[in-house]
Amino acid sequence: MGIQLDLLLNAISAGILLGGFYAAVSVGVAISFGMLDIANLAHPAFIILGSFIAYTLNAQFGIDPIIGGILALPAFYLLGAAIYQVYYYSFERRGDESLRGLAFFFGILFITEVGLILVFGVDYRFVAAPYIGPSIHLGLVDVPLRMTVPFIFSLLMVGGLQLYLSRTFIGRAILAVSQDSQALRLMAINPTKVKRVAFALSIATAAMAGSFLIIIQPVEPSVGREYIGRVFAIVVLGGMGSFPGMMIASMLLGVFESITATFYGPSWSPAVAFGFLLIALAVKPSGLMGR
C-alpha cells in the first residue's frame, strides 16, 4: 500500500510536469487548427526538427538547448510564414482545403521525417545540460529537473502568447480573424496577413517545444508520430482555440499517461492519447456544421 502511494504520487507529479510540456507542444496547433482552422498535421515534425536543431547546436557548439531554441525562433517563424503562403495560394484561395490541404501537410510531415533520417540517421540523440540528471526530493516525490525546467519555460511561453493575443493589436487581430475575417476586411486589415503571422507564430512555438522535448527525452526522427494524436486530442478537448482549455486538457492527458505508464508500462501512452481523442470527438457538439 505504501509503495503504491509512492508510485502514484510520483506518477501524478510527473504527469503534471509532462502536461505543462504538452501545452507547449499543443499551443501551436491551438493556433493553427483551433483558431485558423488549418489542420497542420506536420506540426509534430517541426517539433522534432526543433529538437534536432537544439541537438546540433548543443553537440557542436555546447549551446544550452533552451538558448538554442530561442536562437532558432526567427528561422522557424520564417518557415511558418513561407508554408502558409504556399498553403494559401494552393488551397485556401481555391477553396479546396479539405483533401488536398490535408495531403499537403501529411506530405510535409513525411518529407521532414525522412529528411531528418537522411541527415541524422535513426539513432536516438540527446543533449547535455546541467539540469539534466539531478532531481529535487520533496518527501515521497522525486521531481527531475530535466522535466521541471521545460515545464517552467512551457508555462512562460504559453502565458506569453496569451498576453500577446489579448493585449497587442496584431494579437487581437488574430483572435478576430478566427471568428470573422469579413469584419476584419471592413476595418482595412488584411486577413491573409494576419493569418500568416498567426501561422508563423504557431511554427515558431515548435522551435521551443522541440528544445523542451529533447531535454526531457532522447529523440529520433519518428518520435513525432506519437504526438499527432496527443496534440489534436488536447486541442479538440480543450475547445479548439481556448488556451485555458488547452492547458487543462494537457494536464489531464499528462497525468493519465503518466499513471498508465507507471502501472502498465510506457508503451501504452499512444493508446491513452487516442482514447482522449475519441472522447473529445464524442463530446463535441454534433451536427455536420459542428464547430
Q: Does 115 bind other proteins (CB under 8 A)?
A: yes
Of 102, 132, 143, 259, the one binding other proteins by CB under 8 A: 102
Q: Does 170 bind other proteins (CB under 8 A)?
A: no
Of 59, 78, 117, 128, the one binding other proteins by CB under 8 A: 117
Q: Does 180 bind other proteins (CB under 8 A)?
A: no
Q: Per CB under 8 A, which region of 74-82, 130-138, 182-190, 269-277 contacts other proteins?
A: 269-277
Q: Does 289 bind other proteins (CB under 8 A)?
A: yes
Of 50, 27, 92, 23, the C-alpha closest to 252 is 23
Q: Does 277 bind other proteins (CB under 8 A)?
A: yes
- Dihedral angle at the C-alpha atoms of 211, 216, 221, 226, nearest 10 degrees? -110
Q: Looking at the DSSP assignment, which residues form a beta bridge with residue 136?
A: 143
Can you spell out the DSSP letters for 81-143? HHHHHHHIIIIITTT-IIIIIHHHHHHHHHHHHHHHHHHH-SS-B----TTSS-EEEETTEEE
Q: Does 236 bind other proteins (CB under 8 A)?
A: yes
Q: Does 104 bind other proteins (CB under 8 A)?
A: yes
Centre a 10 Å sphere on the Cβ of residue 265 and count the other Cβ atoms it contains.
9
Q: Per CB under 8 A, which region of 111-119, 140-148, 182-190, 192-200 contacts other proteins?
A: 111-119
Specify the pairing of strand 141-144 against strand 135-138. antiparallel
Number of residues that bind other proteins (CB under 8 A): 47
Q: Are 109 and 99 in contact (CB under 8 A)?
A: no
Binding site for other proteins (CB under 8 A): 39, 41, 86, 90, 96, 98-100, 102-104, 106-108, 110-111, 113-115, 117-118, 222, 225-226, 228-229, 232-233, 236, 265, 267-268, 270-271, 273-274, 277-278, 281-282, 284-290
